[in-house]
Structure 1
Amino acid sequence: MNFAIVGCGFIARKHAKAIEKIGEANLVSVCDKDSTAMKYYVDEYKIKGYTRLEEMLGSEEIDVVCICTPSGLHASIAVQLAEAKKHIIVEKPIAMNLEDTERIIDACKLNDVKLAVVHPNRFRPVVQELRKFLDQGLLGKISHVNAKVNWNRNQEYYDQAPWRGTKEYDGGVLMNQAIHNLDLLLWFVGKPEQVFSMEATRLRNIEAEDVSIGVIGFESGVLGTVEASTTVYPKNFEESITIFGEKGTVKIGGANALYFEHLLVEGKSEEEIKEIKKSINKDPWGIPGHQWIIEDMVNAIKEDRIPSVTGEDGKEALKLVLGFYESADKNKPIQLTKENKYVNN
């Protein structure tokens, strides 16, 4: 299947490398309004580069397009691609607001094209193992969960491009970094019902937040906390998910949430736990998440099924971020209704 990439920034390299590793995927072209940004891809993969999306779509036989542009541009590009009958893989967040998200999802449904959102952390070996514990009910009733992303993104990172750290095109630590961990919380324990959040811009000269602290009440009764920042000195400090259950306590952590830092589960012997940890530690990254998502799209097209990480999944993670933003802005809890709208509590 022929792939193209729109937007030739840093994240596009992960897509290109992943496509290269998949036997049934072939990168045929890239598109970016800045021709210099395309030079690496044109030279490295011996493909064509286009400064206009319309020209690329008219000149190449393309099955799937990966959208790697600034987040604020996702919706307009995705709708154009859907109308051109191209399947879509879009980087997180799916969009910057729910209206644009609905436009993307509706356009893909109307034109019968498949849509996948890049939430690659789901495919890390340690995350997959934790999901197995939950699917098998080994942790029992869950009481509470927490997610932490305390990383470093210095001012130089934000100064790389004028859109970084803006509310219109990029967002802050919740939208850009912690959204992956919010996706995992939703994947592990279900839909949220209520949120309360405080945020600040403490150290970075950006429009959006560089620190956020939030609380979640899930429909299941589970409570959760989220702590996220890009202000940590001098490098990434931790990324973790902890789940507290009546029959087990599990923490996946490290600088990038790759290992079991704590693993106690009723019925699991010390030897079993040791072997599980040993297996994870052998290859903590596993197959790169982007490769999983791209190969899953190939298989979804072949098998005519929905991708593993859907547009609706991307929408739910975005809704949670927007709920935190609204709560911080209004300094009050926000109730998330079943109609997927936010209402004041």
Structure 2
Amino acid sequence: MSAETGFAVIGLGMGKHHCRAIHSAPQATLVAVCDIDEERLQGTAEEYGCVATTNLADVLTNDDVDVVNVATPSGLHTEIGLQVVAAGKHLIVEKPADITAPRIAELIAAVDAAGVKAAGIFQSRLDPLNIEIRNAVQGGRLGRLIGVHGHLPWYRKQTYYEGAHGSWKGTWAMDGGGSLMNQGVHTVDLLQWVAGRVTSVMGMFGVFNHEIEAEDQSVALLRFESGALGTLYTTTCAYPGHNQRITIYGSEGSFVKTEGALESWKLLADEEGTEEADMLRR
């Protein structure tokens, strides 16, 4: 790729955040945006001074586009991603990569065959605090891992699931689920990225406060490869919405954090709290 990497964004819901990130990134140029909503499309193109199109083919045949960001409804990710990589473009795809494991496997195989690069949007892995926690856990600072818990008490109004840009959400066909698959996917990823793979799951889910097909609340019990036990709950029913909360503990200490903020960093090896004080100041 050239010194300036050209990007295109497909889908301008979550895609508007991609546009902002590309615009602010060094050596990156937003070349084109694509959406079926003309009003949303033209407004974004005017804001960033880029090409606007409702036709995916216009993006894929544009020689100035090196990377395509796919931010459409989740159930379309593989369908569009396959066309992107077949055109020889690199791919960034919003979470989740798609809504079924076979579709995701198909996309990965196509990426490998095309010899292009691909990445998913799991920005929690880039948070400095999450990196510190992962390094500590993976480095054995908590001793034998015992408990890993992720809670996501969010809130969505019924209108979130309605209208031209909302009716696909909370459906099995396009969202692949609800509070767990859509909102909770970052928490699912973060728990395993920090604490290792989950080997067994049991749980319950249901629809409690919305008119949707899929879950607006889920609760799960987890057993990790390390032997640690965990819990995961997600909801879009907890008015007015509260921060994600992660609690991890082992034989030598515990960490507790909310969205973007550390609450405690307790280690038996840090009885005077010097390390915790330093972590809390960051």
Residue 280 of structure 2 aligns to which amino acid in structure 1? K
Contact 1:139 1:245 in 2 (8 A): yes
Residues 267-282 of structure 1: pairs in structure 2 closer than 5 A: 267-268=269-270, 269-279=272-282
- Name the CA distance, whole Å, in 2 between partners of 1:36 and 1:56: 19
- Name the CA distance, whole Å, in 2 between partners of 1:3 and 1:191: 33
Give the match's secondary structure for 2:269: coil
Contact 2:265 2:279 in 1 (8 A): no
- Name the CA distance, whole Å, in 2 between partners of 1:271 and 1:265: 10
Residues 47-62 of structure 1: pairs in structure 2 closer than 5 A: 47-62=50-65
TM-score, normalised to structure 1, is 0.77
Deviation at 1:58, TM superposition (A): 1.7
Residue 169 (str. 1) matches residue 171 (str. 2): no
Identity of aligned residues (%): 35
Q: Which residue of 1 aligns with 2:192?
A: 186
Residue 241 of structure 2 aligns to which amino acid in structure 1? N
Q: Which residue of 2 aligns with 1:221?
A: 227
Q: Which moved more, 1:261-270 or 1:49-58?
A: 261-270
- Name the CA distance, whole Å, in 2 between partners of 1:22 and 1:45: 13
Q: Which residue of 1 aligns with 2:122?
A: 119
TM-score, normalised to structure 2, is 0.94
Contact 1:138 1:266 in 2 (8 A): no
Q: Which residue of 1 aligns with 2:49?
A: 46
Give the match's secondary structure for 2:211: coil
Given the alignment, which residue of 3, 6, 12 partners 1:2? 6
Q: Which structure shows the higher helix fraction?
A: 1
Residue 152 (str. 1) matches residue 150 (str. 2): no
- Name the CA distance, whole Å, in 2 between partners of 1:82 and 1:62: 12
Give the match's secondary structure for 1:134: helix
Residues 288-299 of structure 1: pairs in structure 2 closer than 5 A: none
Q: Which residue of 2 aligns with 1:20?
A: 23
Q: Which residue of 2 aligns with 1:34?
A: 37
Deviation at 1:180, TM superposition (A): 0.3
Q: Which residue of 2 aligns with 1:262?
A: 264
Residue 168 of structure 2 aligns to which amino acid in structure 1? W
In the TM superposition, what whole-angstrom CA distance separates every residue of 1:58-105 from its partner, at most 9, and x where no partner exists?
234211111000000001000000101111110000101011101110
Contact 2:221 2:232 in 1 (8 A): yes
Deviation at 1:238, TM superposition (A): 3.0
Residue 103 of structure 1 aligns to which amino acid in structure 2? E
Give the match's secondary structure for 1:267: helix
- Name the CA distance, whole Å, in 2 between partners of 1:27 and 1:55: 15
Residue 239 (str. 1) matches residue 244 (str. 2): yes
- Name the CA distance, whole Å, in 2 between partners of 1:117 and 1:141: 31
Contact 1:249 1:263 in 2 (8 A): yes
Q: CA RMSD, aligned part only?
A: 1.2
Given the alignment, which residue of 209, 212, 215 partners 1:209? 215
Give the match's secondary structure for 2:254: strand
Give the match's secondary structure for 1:76: helix
Give the match's secondary structure for 2:244: strand
Deviation at 1:144, TM superposition (A): 1.5
Residue 266 of structure 1 aligns to which amino acid in structure 2? L
- Name the CA distance, whole Å, in 1 between partners of 2:62 and 2:131: 40
Deviation at 1:56, TM superposition (A): 2.1
* Residue ranges of structure 1 left out of the alignment (5+ in a row): 280-345
- Name the CA distance, whole Å, in 2 between partners of 1:112 and 1:155: 43
Q: Which moved more, 1:199-208 or 1:48-57?
A: 48-57
Residue 220 of structure 1 aligns to which amino acid in structure 2? S
Q: Which moved more, 1:130-139 or 1:223-232?
A: 130-139
- Name the CA distance, whole Å, in 2 between partners of 1:89 and 1:99: 19
